[in-house]
């Protein structure tokens, strides 16, 4: 039987019936010098042969089965991997404009959902790589794992052994989609019945021995599930209310050690300090426009990826909760955020993410849109590679990720690399029409947090 989409990936796929909820991720890699582009091409070829999804397209299956992955018969690596010259003046802003356009484009759905631009001719003698992929291919942590195939840890390129063979692409049999859908439903139903039979004795026994605790636990789980899926009736912000298909992207670099020191000083984590910096920027942006702000609706991806999970696929869940943006004191803000994120990370609904996604896939598309469009901002923290790496013999100077807004006003994604935190900012131009003002406010929000560090290191700048 072919491989079907996980329920969470199918949810990501289905919600794109509203183009404002597209799940395109754009990764930017800036290099010191020009790499061996032939070697870079071979590495992407190896990735496509190692991870089937990079040579597969998504095919709709008769409901209630989810879409399935199917090898693309006309796969052409050079369609997905294209060399281009940097537009004038060949600086970081020129590359960011290319990233902005990629973030707004949709994929050709009859082909695998990724493309890479190999950007040559930067004014400083460097180069860049822009990777656009659908979130169903992999999540942030999975992308870092894929980086093990892409990068080397020294300027010398190690021998990775023979290239894996190209996968065989069988011809689809007539009516195979209907037969596969029936087999999928039978398989899911069989697993559900088997699981119920295995768990029923323990549940019954627990209910007899501890009836009140059992009912209480069931009610708490149901409440947690409701908090996960409930629609957000209106944005928390009175300022960032509009939504569109237009985007602006930007970057900001923050030193990791002072950010961690600031978090440690008030008993928080790096993630708490990161969210507090974003919240501080949002507060300042509202103050700039003389609009009051208290709490805003935030969406935070939480990784569910385990050691046994493969690199491909989406292993995250989206948790929505309110963040105290209006607090001016960064120490108090970090502490309040720490309490909120601790509660969210222990939600009873987390083990049931796939079941929840399967249920959402049966609901009308407008309900999914209502659950996401009124979120104010997304903040995602991706632990990256801790040491300097190379690509095609060229040192990687800087890398960041522009993750999708999925209906929010802005997504700020923090990707750590070799002691630095790169913030990839992807903003909806209707919600934030004055992007430069917002960028300045975000920088000031992180300055507030970094000022808590006992010893402040000098902050590097991207590019």
Domain 3-150 bears CATH identifier 3.40.190.10: no
190, with CB counted inside 10 A (0-12, 13-18, 19+), is exposed
Reported as half-sphere exposure (CB side, CA atoms, 13 A), residue 262 has a value of 30
297 is catalytic: no
Q: How distant, in Å, are the alpha carbons of 3, 4, 62 from that of 59?
A: 11, 9, 10
CATH fold match for the domains 3-150 and 247-385+403-450: yes
Helix then strand then coil, in percent of the chain rounded to 5, is 40, 20, 35
Calculated CA dihedral for residues 16, 17, 18, 22, nearest 10 degrees? 20
Read off the pLDDT band of 178 (50, 70, 90): low
Give the DSSP letter string of 81-149.
Answer: EEEEEPPTT-SHHHHHHHHHHHHHPPP-TTS-SEEEEEEE--TTS-EEEEEEEETTTB-HHHHHHHHHH
Calculated CA dihedral for residues 407, 412, 413, 416, nearest 10 degrees? 180
pLDDT greater at residue 195 or residue 20: 20
Read off the pLDDT band of 184 (50, 70, 90): low
| DSSP bridge pairs for 59 | 68
Domain layout of the chain by residue ranges: 3-150, 247-385+403-450
What mean pLDDT comes out for the span 196-225? 55
Write down the pTM of the prediction: 0.86
- Over the Cα atoms of the chain, what is R_g? 23
Please tell me the predicted confidence (pLDDT) of residue 367: 67
What mean pLDDT comes out for the span 438-453? 97
Contact 56, 443 (CB under 8 A): no
Mean model confidence pLDDT for the chain? 84
- Residue 45 and residue 39: Cα distance in Å, rounded? 10
436, with CB counted inside 10 A (0-12, 13-18, 19+), is exposed
- Residue 408 and residue 320: Cα distance in Å, rounded? 11
Residue that has been written with the tokens 């996604």 in this structure: 357
458, with CB counted inside 10 A (0-12, 13-18, 19+), is exposed
Residue that has been written with the tokens 């901002």 in this structure: 377
Give the DSSP letter string of 24-77.
Answer: EEEEEEEESS---HHHHHHHHHHHHHHSGGGGEEEE--STTSPPEEEE-TT--H
Residue that has been written with the tokens 């799940």 in this structure: 23
What mean pLDDT comes out for the span 182-210? 50
What mean pLDDT comes out for the span 105-124? 94
Residues 6+ apart with CB under 8 A from 190: none
pLDDT above 80 for 114? yes
Read off the pLDDT of residues 357-380 as tens digits, 9 standing for 90 and up: 777 666 776 666 666 778 999 999
What mean pLDDT comes out for the span 34-46? 94
Please tell me the predicted confidence (pLDDT) of residue 185: 60
Catalytic residue among 134, 135, 252, 439: 135
Contact 382, 415 (CB under 8 A): yes
Read off the pLDDT of residues 73-95 as tens digits, 9 standing for 90 and up: 889 999 999 999 999 999 999 99
Q: Which class in CATH covers the domain with range 247-385+403-450?
A: alpha beta
Looking only at the bridges linking them, the beta strands covering 56-59 and 295-303 are unpaired
| DSSP bridge pairs for 24 | 134
Read off the pLDDT of residues 387-419 as tens digits, 9 standing for 90 and up: 999 999 999 999 999 999 999 999 999 999 999
The DSSP call for residue 153 is S
Please tell me the predicted confidence (pLDDT) of residue 462: 43
Q: What is the distance of C-alpha 72 from the center of its chain? A: 25
């Amino acid at each position: 039987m072919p491989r079907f989409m996980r329920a969470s990936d199918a949810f990501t796929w289905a919600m794109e019936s509203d183009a404002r909820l597209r799940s395109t991720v754009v990764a930017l890699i800036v290099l010191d010098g020009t790499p061996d582009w032939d070697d870079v091409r071979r590495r992407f070829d190896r990735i496509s042969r190692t991870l089937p999804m990079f040579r597969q397209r998504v095919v709709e299956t008769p409901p209630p089965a989810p879409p399935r992955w199917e090898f693309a018969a006309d796969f052409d690596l050079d369609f997905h991997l294209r060399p281009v010259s940097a537009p004038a003046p060949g600086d970081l802003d020129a590359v960011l404009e290319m990233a902005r356009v990629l973030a707004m484009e949709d994929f050709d759905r009859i082909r695998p959902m990724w493309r890479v631009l190999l950007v040559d001719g930067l004014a400083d003698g460097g180069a860049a790589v822009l990777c656009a992929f659908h979130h169903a291919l992999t999540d942030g942590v999975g992308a870092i794992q894929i980086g093990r195939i892409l990068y080397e840890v020294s300027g010398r390129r190690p021998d990775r052994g023979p290239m894996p063979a190209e996968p065989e692409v069988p011809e689809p049999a007539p009516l195979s989609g209907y037969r596969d859908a029936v087999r999928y439903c039978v398989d899911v139903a069989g697993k559900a019945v088997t699981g119920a039979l295995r768990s029923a004795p323990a549940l019954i026994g627990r209910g007899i021995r501890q009836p009140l605790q059992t009912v209480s636990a069931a009610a708490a789980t149901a409440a947690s599930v409701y908090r996960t899926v409930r629609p957000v009736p209106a944005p928390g912000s009175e300022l960032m209310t509009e939504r569109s298909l237009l985007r602006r992207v930007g970057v900001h670099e923050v030193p990791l050690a002072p950010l961690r020191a600031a978090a440690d000083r008030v008993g928080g984590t790096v993630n708490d300090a990161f969210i507090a910096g974003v919240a501080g920027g949002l507060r300042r942006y509202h103050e700039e426009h003389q609009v009051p702000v208290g709490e805003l609706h935030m969406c935070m991806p939480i990784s569910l990826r385990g050691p046994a999970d493969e690199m491909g696929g989406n292993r995250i869940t989206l948790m929505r909760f309110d963040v105290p943006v209006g607090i001016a004191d960064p120490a108090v803000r970090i502490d309040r955020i720490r309490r909120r994120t601790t509660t969210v990370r222990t939600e009873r609904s987390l083990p049931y993410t796939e079941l929840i996604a399967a249920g959402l896939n049966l609901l009308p598309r407008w309900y999914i849109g209502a659950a996401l469009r009124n979120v104010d901002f997304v903040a995602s923290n991706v632990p990256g590679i801790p040491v300097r790496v190379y690509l095609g013999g060229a040192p990687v100077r800087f890398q960041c990720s522009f993750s999708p807004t999925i209906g929010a006003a802005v997504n700020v994604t923090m990707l750590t690399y070799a002691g630095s935190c790169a913030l990839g900012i992807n903003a909806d131009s209707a919600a934030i029409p004055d992007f430069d003002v917002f960028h300045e406010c975000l920088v000031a929000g992180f300055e507030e947090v970094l000022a808590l560090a006992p010893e402040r290191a000098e902050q590097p700048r991207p590019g």
